[in-house]
Structures are given as structure tokens and as C-alpha cells.
Amino acid sequence: MSGFVTFISAGPGDPELLTVKGAARLRDADVVLYDDLASGAILDLARPGANLVAVGKRAGRPSTKQHHVNRLLVDYAAAGVRVVRLKSGDAGIFGRLEEELEALREAGIGYEIIPGITSACVAAAQAGIPLTRRHTSRRVQFVTGADVTGELPQNLNWAALADPEATTVVYMGRRTFPALVAKLIEHGLAPSTPALFAESLGRPDERLVRTTIAELAEQLARGGAASTAAVILFGALAGDYPS
């Protein structure tokens, strides 16, 4: 079966943070299958007349099923058109990229992956801090705050996540962060560990909150459901301010 798909990682949503290569492929596409978080101004880069197809998946909302996204990718590529799959952040980090690649492999369809800026890097940059430091944070770890059911995963490496000398980034953890913090404290992480809460990165309503893991857990427990995307950083560097 012929056809080809380009996976473009859109970054946090700011078109200026899209790679030059990604922008060029987007301008050439006949069909763009895009996530909710990769919509807005970035889609303005698509050529006039391109078929823009929303296939977003958001927690707590009606979402496109993954098997339907896979089918669309295969069907459009098989028709011989130039297909772009526009995914938010970096597609390789908690972006369900593997399921879509597997569908293309099984159908004999070629693809390329154009990396992008993940929200961890954007959050740190917007806060004016590094993700690493030679003597106080020599390791960065990314973890998902939600399993396939939307609950906190139970098989996480708690000893690693409770390491005070690591910078830890939690994706999709707004709802489960209070439970995560309870486990971290149980495994020895101090409640006063600095935390950075970043939501709507790269958008006009962007918000950064510097606090502690215990205080943030309390705030999120009281906050209820929210529709904006957020990422949480914690560790020594999360409390730093630009000098």
C-alpha cells in the first residue's frame, strides 16, 4: 500500500515555537489531522484549501477514539494525498504516537517524525529556570499522572519520583496530583519541596504558579475540573527565580 504520513510535533501552541521543518511540511499538506491543543494559530500555517480534520482527545470530554484516528491516517495516506498528523507538544512524550505508528506499519505506509518542544521545556523557559544544574539537579524525569483509565498509575517508581535531587515533570496530572503527593511524602519527599504549576503554555491565558508540592496538592484538590492543559514541575529548581 502506498502513501506517506508526516507526524509534526506542534509544541505548546505558539506558532513561533514550531520548527522550520514542521512549518514547511504543514504548508505542503493536503490533509491535516490535528489535536485540540495543536489547533488555533498553528493551523493558519496550513495552505488554503487543505482539509483540516479535528481528532483531539481531551480528558473528561467527548473524544475521537484512537482506532478511528488510526483508520483515518491509513485511509487518507492510501488515497495518495500528503497527510500531516499534527500533535501537541512533542509527539513522542505521552502523545500516543506508538499506536499510530503501529497502524501505519501494519498497513505498509511510510512516515517521518518531526520532533517538537515538549511542555516541560517550555514551562521551565517561561519561568526563567533550567531543568538541570550540575550540583543540585543532575537528572530530569518525565512521568504521566494518569493511566488509561485517567487514574494515578500504581506501578510508578516512587523512590525515583521522591528523589529531591531530580527535577520531576508530571504530565496530565492536574486531577491526580493530590494522590501523587501523598505517595511522594510517604516515600520521604518533603512537603515543602518547590513546585511549579504551568497551564495554557504559549497561549494568551498562560499562568505560572510557584508554590510547594503540599500547597499545590491542596489547591488542586479544591479546584475541581478544568479544561486547560497543565504541566507540573517539582524539585529544587522549581522554586528558583531569575536573578
Active-site amino acid positions: 35, 57
Check if the beta carbon of residue 26 is closer than 8 Å to that of residue 8: yes
> Cα–Cα–Cα angle for 86, 87, 89, nearest 5°?
135
SS3 of residue 167 by DSSP:
strand
Helix (H), strand (E) at residue 7: strand 4-9
Q: What is the dihedral of CA 70, 75, 77, 80, to 10 degrees?
A: 180
Check if the beta carbon of residue 116 is closer than 8 Å to that of residue 18: yes
Check if the beta carbon of residue 215 is closer than 8 Å to that of residue 194: no
> Cα–Cα–Cα angle for 104, 90, 129, nearest 5°?
170
- Residue 60 has which C-alpha cell? 473528561
According to DSSP, the β-strands at 31-34 and 166-171 are: unpaired
The amino acid sitting at 9 is S
CA distance 133 to 110: 40
